[in-house]
Structure 1
Amino acid sequence: MELIRGIHNILPSHHGCVLTIGNFDGVHRGHAEVIGKLVKKAEQFQVSSCVMTFEPQPQELFRGENAPARLSLLRDKISLLDELGVERLLCVSFNQKFANMPAQAFIEQLLVKKLGVRYLVVGDDFCFGHGRQGDFDMLKRAGEQFGFAVVSTQSFLLGDKRVSSTEVRQLLAKGNLEQARRLLGHPMTLSGRVAHGQKIGRTIGFPTANIALKRKVTPVRGVFAVKLYWQGSDIYEGVANVGFRPTVNGQTCQLEVHLFDFDGDLYGKTVEVELVAKIRDEQPFKSLDALKRQIKNDADRAKALLGFDAG
């Protein structure tokens, strides 16, 4: 899959495509259904399939800390979209300048002139342009004027259900990982680079890999049974905490993973952490000894949930 970073990197060779536009947060089964149809349309029109997404997501610009929790970082999204057979991903820098682009310019300059859209799939609640003046009806009229079809994602249901990122977030907030996985169509993972932490874990017998989440808001909090891996590695099992570490006065939300029977060096590695099952909510403890006892219980619970065999 070709990644086009920013409108300024659209080339003449990118003209002519079938397109869908959205956040594609989590790249869930509803998204997969839409993209599967888009890829078939690309074959029919003999042009490239293209996904336009935004970085940061629009709500993150407008609402900051009050934005919905992000399910996937850009690199996760790239990997998932690539697996679905998308040929091009246009990642638009969503800043105030882009947000202020007149709706008509978005259509004529970007969709028609630069991308040469032949077939467009968007949500019927999609709004764009300065003051959110552009909407689905405006796109339909533009399609008639400039010769491209406009189809609503409402046409693509999973059974009789419309899957949404909002619904996945709600399930994750409740700790219902199994149902969230069904809607996603893939495991819920958190990824990032392992960095040096306070190294408190090793002083109480539970060394951890510390991973910055790089999200304004995190979709999950608590203690989980997990699997961890990186490119070309085996799969390692463990227990993880996602949160602020109140017992040691943590200030930022991060992911800490204790792996069972692992003594290698993970510093600097970019890892994927699959959340298998939630064990409990995060809570403060009066002492490191109390924290140590709880982590021991959490680790035993995680081993049971994972069917971990130390042999």
Structure 2
Amino acid sequence: MKLLRGIHNLKNEHRGCVLSIGNFDGIHLGHQAVLNRLLIEAERLNVPAVVLTFEPQPAELFAGDNAPARLSRLRDKFVQLEKQGLDRLLCVSFTHHFANLSAEDFIAELLIKKLDIKYLVVGDDFHFGYQRKGDFALLKQAGKKYGFEVIDTQSLMQSDLRISSTRIRDALAQGDLQRASAMLGRKYSIAGRVVHGQKLGRTIGVPTANLLLKRRVSPVSGVYVVSVLGINEKVYQGVANIGQRPTVQGVRQQLEVHLFDFSADLYGLQLEVILEEKLRDEVRFDSFAELKIQIDKDIELAREWHNKKS
């Protein structure tokens, strides 16, 4: 799958496609239903299947730190969309200038002039353009004018409830990983590159790999049993803390993962950390010594969890 960053990178060779538009935050089962329909139409029309998404997500531009927590960064979306078998991901920079584009210009300038779409698949609650005035009815009118088909897919339901990124965020915030996984169609995971940290874990015999959480707000925090991919073909077991590390005056949210029985250098590697079970919330301890005692308990509980599952 090819990533195209910005409308300015669209060329004539990118014209003619089937398209779906949205945040696709989490690539949950509802999103996957939309993408399945997109792939069917791409094969029928013999054109590429393309997803258009935005960075930052619109709510992040307008609400800043008050925006909902993101389930997935752009890289996470790319990984999951590639697994679905799509041809291209077009990432548009969502600025105030772009947000002020009228719904009619959005259709004429981007969908028709730049992409020449043949088929459009959107969610049943999709709105676009200045003040979100664009909707499915407007797209249907445009389809008749410009000669493309458009359908909206009904929300996928589970236990009479709509599958949505909001409900997945709520489940994760409550530590209910099983409920989140049921809506995602897979276990929730976080991907990121290992960076240099304060190396405090080494001083107490608990070295950690540190991944920066490049998002305004994380949907999860606390201590988790984890499985880790990306080192080699093997799945590694461990325990992770996600948060600001208040005991050591941390200010940035990050993920620290301790791998069991592992000592190699991981700096620069891109890891995927799968959250298996939440052990506890992140808390501030009065001393580093108290933190060390709790970390030992966390490691023991995480080992026991993995041993029961193996």
Q: Secondary structure at the match of 2:128?
A: coil
| TM superposition score normalised by structure 1 | 0.95
Q: 1:157 to 1:37 in 2, by over 3 A?
A: farther
Q: Aligned partner of 1:76: which letter?
A: D
Q: Aligned partner of 1:97: which letter?
A: H
Q: 1:146 to 1:29 in 2, by over 3 A?
A: same
Query: Per-residue displacement from partner, 1:203-253 (whole Å, max 9, x unpaired)?
Result: 122111111111100010000001122163422111110011111111111
CA distance in 2, matches of 1:159, 1:45: 35
Q: 1:157 to 1:35 in 2, by over 3 A?
A: farther
Does residue 41 (structure 1) correspond to residue 41 (structure 2)? The answer is yes
CA contact (8 A) 2:220 2:242 kept: yes
Q: 1:113 to 1:159 in 2, by over 3 A?
A: farther
CA contact (8 A) 2:107 2:142 kept: yes
Q: Aligned partner of 1:298: which letter?
A: D
Aligned residue number for residue 220 of structure 2: 220
Q: Aligned partner of 1:95: which letter?
A: T
CA contact (8 A) 1:204 1:288 kept: no
Q: Aligned partner of 2:30: which letter?
A: G
Aligned residue number for residue 119 of structure 1: 119
CA distance in 1, matches of 2:239, 2:158: 33
Q: Secondary structure at the match of 1:307?
A: helix
Deviation (angstroms), 1:137: 1.8
Identity score, percent: 55
Q: 1:185 to 1:300 in 2, by over 3 A?
A: same
Deviation (angstroms), 1:131: 2.5
Segments of 4+ moved more than 6 angstroms: none
Aligned residue number for residue 193 of structure 1: 193
Q: 1:112 to 1:156 in 2, by over 3 A?
A: farther
Q: Aligned partner of 1:143: which letter?
A: G
CA distance in 2, matches of 1:173, 1:113: 42
Q: 1:231 to 1:152 in 2, by over 3 A?
A: farther
Q: 1:309 to 1:202 in 2, by over 3 A?
A: farther
CA distance in 1, matches of 2:275, 2:153: 29
| TM superposition score normalised by structure 2 | 0.95
Q: 1:48 to 1:159 in 2, by over 3 A?
A: farther
CA distance in 1, matches of 2:231, 2:240: 20
CA distance in 1, matches of 2:16, 2:170: 38
CA contact (8 A) 2:52 2:89 kept: yes
CA distance in 1, matches of 2:105, 2:57: 21
CA contact (8 A) 2:279 2:298 kept: yes
CA distance in 2, matches of 1:216, 1:153: 30
Q: Aligned partner of 2:180: which letter?
A: A
Deviation (angstroms), 1:146: 1.6
CA distance in 2, matches of 1:121, 1:144: 15
Matches within 5 A, 1:169-208: 169-208=169-208
Q: 1:244 to 1:15 in 2, by over 3 A?
A: same
Structure 1 unaligned blocks of 5 or more: none
Q: Secondary structure at the match of 1:217?
A: coil
Aligned residue number for residue 211 of structure 2: 211
Task: Give the RMSD, CA atoms, in angstroms.
Answer: 1.8
Does residue 152 (structure 1) correspond to residue 152 (structure 2)? The answer is yes
